[in-house]
Structure 1
């Protein structure tokens, strides 16, 4: 079934590419694109089978995201982000899953994970709760979050928040699930790259969140979640730090892969008007740049796919995932993004002045790749430092490992 999704997506690529400029101008994806992606099954790939999902091997999902991003980086990015949330929702309490998908399994969920919200425990009557949350209780939530990609197309949102104790100090870090009726979207997205992602702000003002719509980030990092009781397949034993971070790395790699192909198409028959003239394709320096860029892209794809596949094999076999493998996956994920950015920088530099024109596919890939690279999950130095700590035998504690 996952291969059928890829086949269906490939039929959509020409139209998606043709709409990419309109998506940039509108600063969000057309509803038509979202509908086509939904019909193709993109958003169902990591969804529990109980709700009509495919529970596909994750590497197949990232392959779809890369191909979409090669046609339109913003489409690839939104597909990766909205497409990964069904996996995380599958870890929530079964009651939360039923609230989201019970009436319509095609409902989409957006996110903004930075802990910018404030959660105050309350009891079932809404009164402040001094200790743990009792049955029927939950939290009052307030906050403002940025970078909620594709939020205009979603009916729910996953938001990061800190639990505030009796003394007003943070005591826990949670992800909470909030329905569209409980938040508003502020149209603030006006950026240099990934312009079509509609990554606007989400604002919540003192709403009640029942305890079953919350998940402790520590538990998730320990590969635990209440949803595992009903979603027992291997997909829901994968680490968040592998599943989610790969979903925001794949679009960057895909965008550069698309830029690489457009570069070859544009430059293959071009003649230089300077530097002695001649065919661009005959230029030694251009040939070297192409070789380096192609190698960087191949390395990015091969390493990231290898790690996801290795972790998948472990969970299928009900074997523990070694910390060294989890760290290696994060190392190669951020290095994959870094390699992709290096590749598009090489191509952009050698393409000449024409690549500066707004809307040129090389220029767009350059902007989009750099924009995607600044996502916190693609922060190379932080992830590489964790890998180094692990290699030296030091303790590594982080929710993104």
Structure 2
């Protein structure tokens, strides 16, 4: 038996049983595996359209995949973030952009579960399938007013916003007497914001991560807001509404793994296609060993080994870290600063592993690797794009961990 990361991933999934006997996660997992083929076939089209299509979004909805971490009382499955990571991994093996959008919009349901109950009722009360997208950086300005806030501003990286009915937007609230502004998340329905088509990128091109603009103040009632500090410190008001401790998992212990996960799935998908196609290919021209199968070259073999090891290690880290955070919260513990920063280190390091591995794989793919249909070049662009996200960028996150180890005040978000 070949002990690959593909096997490791499936060890955590339920065994095959009769369809009528499958538990909900097994059904969702099977649906994700089936959709992986479709999204792979549409990967280049998704890039060309610069967004995930309405049709694919509808298929994900109909399969129930967006409900994985949605609260039960609003029609969701209320499963674990690790379950969501596994499902997004399968989708992302076929198309990184689709996996990215699915994972982040599904995760937005988890975050909505932290908002006050009235906000959840606003979004899901009449439409349990309503989708959310988010711009977490607090680049907007929220001014307190009677009953809520007046919000305006411009946000970047609104992934999957074309398919969303609601957005969760970060903003700063000015505080009295010179105190530091306070970051909050605010929920805004479709029709009260404008999507600005700015998304023309070299990587993650199909995520539709366009700008969001609110040019004239809109009113956001107070119940549609949650403080950033509340979702970081396990004090979110929505946690009091639901039975599961899921909604007490700190935001920066649960969200960044779902940002890192697409890099791992992109590597897995590219590696599988590379290995499947390489045996039939021979070197051409005057190259030393011309006419031999590329699979016979040591540097090609080594690149495959590095990529397999990176997928294994990255998945083990993400799985361990999500499960650790969940177990601590389930036990009623509050994660310490050291624990949260250590988790952040793991999130960023998995992406670094994938960057190094895909760069090595792209180095040996040969001339066909410059073709837009080639999955290795797409993964190369996508994984390097993921690594530029500040929440999983190794240079940004590793310094925070080093500061902690040296006894210096950590500078960053955790």
**Superposition TM-score tier, normalisation by shorter sequence:** over 0.9
Match of 2:344 in 1: 330
| TM-fit CA distance, 1:352 | 1.1
For the pair 1:276 / 2:289, whether they are aligned, the reply is yes
| TM-fit CA distance, 1:51 | 0.7
Bigger shift: 75-84 or 273-282? 273-282
| TM-fit CA distance, 1:251 | 0.9
Aligned match for 2:161, one of 143, 147, 151: 151
Q: Distance in 1 between matches of 2:233 and 2:360?
A: 40
Match of 1:347 in 2: 361
Match of 2:150 in 1: 140
Q: Distance in 1 between matches of 2:90 and 2:288?
A: 36
**Which structure is richer in relative contact order (CA contacts within 8 A, separation 6 or more)?**
1
SS class of match (1:59): helix
Gaps of 5+ in 2: 1-23
SS class of match (2:255): helix
For the pair 1:97 / 2:120, whether they are aligned, the reply is yes
The Cα offsets for residues 203-249 of structure 1, whole Å up to 9 and x where unpaired, read as 11211111111111112211111111112312111111121111111
Aligned match for 1:200, one of 210, 213, 224: 210
SS class of match (1:231): coil
| TM-fit CA distance, 1:270 | 1.2
**Structural mapping, 1:2-401, within 5 Å:** 2-123=25-146, 137-165=147-175, 171-204=181-214, 205-273=216-284, 274-277=287-290, 278-396=292-410, 398=412, 400-401=413-414
Match of 1:131 in 2: none
User: Aligned-pair RMSD on alpha carbons?
Assistant: 1.6
| TM-fit CA distance, 1:166 | 5.9
TM-score normalized by the length of structure 1: 0.93
SS class of match (1:142): strand
Q: Distance in 1 between matches of 2:342 and 2:362?
A: 30
Q: Distance in 1 between matches of 2:177 and 2:331?
A: 46
**Matched positions, count:** 387
| TM-fit CA distance, 1:167 | 7.4
SS class of match (2:211): strand
The Cα offsets for residues 132-163 of structure 1, whole Å up to 9 and x where unpaired, read as xxxxx211111011110110111110111111
8 A contact 1:348–1:355 mirrored in 2: yes
8 A contact 2:390–2:396 mirrored in 1: no
8 A contact 1:162–1:170 mirrored in 2: no
| TM-fit CA distance, 1:269 | 2.1
TM-score normalized by the length of structure 2: 0.90
